[in-house]
Amino acid sequence: MVTDTGGIDDRSFNQSTWEGIEEFAKENNMTRGDGGYDYLQSAKDSDFETNIKNLVRRDFDLVFAVGFKLQDAVKTVATQQKNAKLAIIDEVVPDLDNVTSIMFKANEASYLAGVAAALESKTGKVGFIGGMEGDVIGGFQAGFQAGVAAADPKVKVDVQYAGSFGDAAKGQAIAKRMFDGGADIIFHAAGGTGNGLFTEAKERKKKDPKANVWAIGVDRDQYDEGKVGDTNIVMTSVLKRVDIAAKDVSKLTKDGKFPGGETITYGLKDKGVDLADSHGAISDKTMKKVDEFKAKIVAGEIEVPEKPAKK
């Protein structure tokens, strides 16, 4: 597996992919290193291709490239080395028999987060912090906004992008502005930038245990990031089960059924995306509503938009 620039311990999808691979390795008694499983981290964009090639040259049966930024590198390596088997997460590399593309309908789970946020908000205002503008994060935003609008059209969504996935200070500044502006629940899809949201919310909770501030995490269950004494400011998290996907594809490859040339999309239906346990932060009444919407999405009655409406 090759990480993007977020690194292996990004508490987000790099880490999640690795956890899936580790789990698969454990089940199959594999050891770390040649002939088993391993990862390489990328510090710069120019490292992607070198890292993928290094792993291919070490004869790994399957190499995961994590993140849309690795698309070009995957395409190049796959074209040059027909025997290599590659899988890319969050991006589609079409028309190559030796590449599997793994996509997530993050907009569906974000929709549910939007529903929950709209119904739980006491101030009638919620926030969304995005990392970089674009198709991937746009999906989170679109789903969240649509969810809020569906549950309570009166609730306003304050949207702001940080322009970075690694700038926690900026995330905190944006969160501060949003809380000051009257938002009480903020959803982030901003990787490391989102850590600033947790810091800000926790500080407010520490100063005033009755403060009505909530954060919604992303990719992994970020409940552990939100602990303040006995309470927690993480309402729920929009899960992207990259670990499940990584395990699935590894298993298929092992059984000789590598889904090359295909795009596998994980949605609410196949539990590839979901909301995390709220640990009681979301009322039963809201949860019931969320489950109703969830059933409708799974049944195909609601089509969640993939792109935010143009301003």
Partner 1 sequence: MSKRWISLLIPVVSIILGLLIGAIVMLATGFNPVDGYIALVNGMVGDSYNLGETIRTITPYVFAGLAVAFAFRTGLFNIGVEGQLIMGWLAAAYVGYAFDLPPVLHVIVAILAAAIAGGLWAFIPGLLKAKLQVHEVIVTIMMNYIALHVVNATIDTLSDGKEKTETIHTSASLGSEFLQSLTDYSRLHWGFAVALLAVLVMWFILEKTTRGYELKAVGFNQNAAEYSGMNVSKNIILAMVISGMFAGIGGAMEALGTFGNIMKMTAFSGIGFDGIAVALLGANQPLGVLFGAILFGALKNGGLNMPNEAGVPVEIVSIVIALIIFFVASGYLIQLILNKLVKKDTKTPKVDKKNVKGEK
Residues that bind partner 1 (CB under 8 A): 5, 33, 40-41, 43-47, 49-51, 53-55, 58, 68-69, 72, 80-81, 131-136, 138, 163-166
Q: How far is the CB of 308 from partner 1 (least distance, A)?
A: 10
**10 Å Cβ neighbour count for 152?**
16
- Helices 47-57, 71-80: axis angle to 10 degrees equals 40
**Which distant-in-sequence residues (6+ apart) come within 8 Å of 28 by Cβ?**
254
Q: How far is the CB of 249 from partner 1 (least distance, A)?
A: 22
For partner 1, give the closer residue by CB, 1 or 126: 1
Q: How far is the CB of 36 from partner 1 (least distance, A)?
A: 12
For partner 1, give the closer residue by CB, 190 or 201: 190
Q: Which two tokens stand for residue 120?
A: 């739980």
Structural contact between residues 71 and 88, judged by C-beta atoms closer than 8 angstroms: yes
Q: How far is the CB of 289 from partner 1 (least distance, A)?
A: 32
Helix (H) or strand (E) holding 174, with range, is helix 168-180
For partner 1, give the closer residue by CB, 79 or 283: 79
For partner 1, give the closer residue by CB, 75 or 125: 75
Q: How far is the CB of 40 from partner 1 (least distance, A)?
A: 6
Q: Enter the DSSP assignment of 29.
A: T
35: region left, alpha or beta (phi > 0 left; psi from -120 to 50 alpha) = left
Q: How far is the CB of 58 from partner 1 (least distance, A)?
A: 7
Nearest residue to 308 (alpha-carbon basis) of 112, 159, 156, 125: 159
For the chain, the C-alpha Rg in angstroms (whole number) is: 20
For partner 1, give the closer residue by CB, 48 or 179: 48
For partner 1, give the closer residue by CB, 49 or 274: 49
CA geometry: angle at 219 spanning 105 and 91, to 5°?
50
Q: How far is the CB of 38 from partner 1 (least distance, A)?
A: 8
For partner 1, give the closer residue by CB, 163 or 209: 163
Q: For residue 64, what are the β-bridge partners?
A: 87
Alpha helices in 28-165 (DSSP H): 47-57, 71-80, 106-120, 135-151
